[in-house]
Every structure is written in C-alpha cells, then in structure tokens.
Amino acid sequence: MTTPPLKLDLNPARGNGLPSNPGSRGALNLMPPPPERKSKLADDIQKAGKPDCRKAHADMGVLAVIPLAQSALSKDGDCKW
C-alpha cells in the first residue's frame, strides 16, 4: 500500500483577488508608522544649547519662580538644570 505524494504549496495563490504585498498585514494599512525616537545624543545636543537655569532668569528677581517652575515641570523647558 503506497500513500499518494503530499501536495505542499509553500506559496499559495491568494484567492481574494487582491495583489499580494509581503510588507502589509491586511488589505489596508490603517496604522500609522510609530514616531521616530530621538537618540540620547540628540537630546544631549539639544540640551547643551539651552542656557543655565540659574542664570537664565536671574534678572527677574522673585518673579523668576514662575518660569523656573514651568521649566522644571515641562519635559522640554527653556533652560537646563
């Protein structure tokens, strides 16, 4: 008794009539690509161009508390600590 040979098709043709695209996961690519993350070096270079917080608002006296607090709480402040 012999068994018939197996019909293994590793690259089956799509039966839905859409052209095959190996990079897509479906008929429509609805998800946008993820945003590019900045490297640590890029962050350090950007931070190096900012003035020192101790001297940036020194001329404002007591009112310097407001921009200093804003700079401390925000991720991209206008001065570096």
Residue 1 falls within a domain, yes or no? Answer: no
Residue 54 falls within a domain, yes or no? Answer: yes
The encoded tokens of residue 77 equal: 């402040």
pLDDT at 41: 92
Residue 15 falls within a domain, yes or no? Answer: no
Residue 53 falls within a domain, yes or no? Answer: yes
Range of the domain at 53: 40-73
Residue 67 falls within a domain, yes or no? Answer: yes
pLDDT at 32: 84
C-alpha closest to that of 74 among 37, 66, 56: 66
pTM of the full predicted structure?
A: 0.42
Task: Report how far residue 66's alpha carbon sits from residue 57's, in angstroms, rounded to the nearest whole number.
Answer: 10
Question: For residue range 17-60, what is the model confidence (pLDDT) as tens digits?
Answer: 555 555 555 567 778 888 888 899 988 888 888 888 888 888 88
Number of domains in the chain: 1
Average pLDDT on 4-24 reads: 62
Residue carrying structure tokens 């996961």:
25
Dihedral-angle region of residue 61 (phi above 0 means left; psi in -120 to 50 means alpha; beta otherwise): left
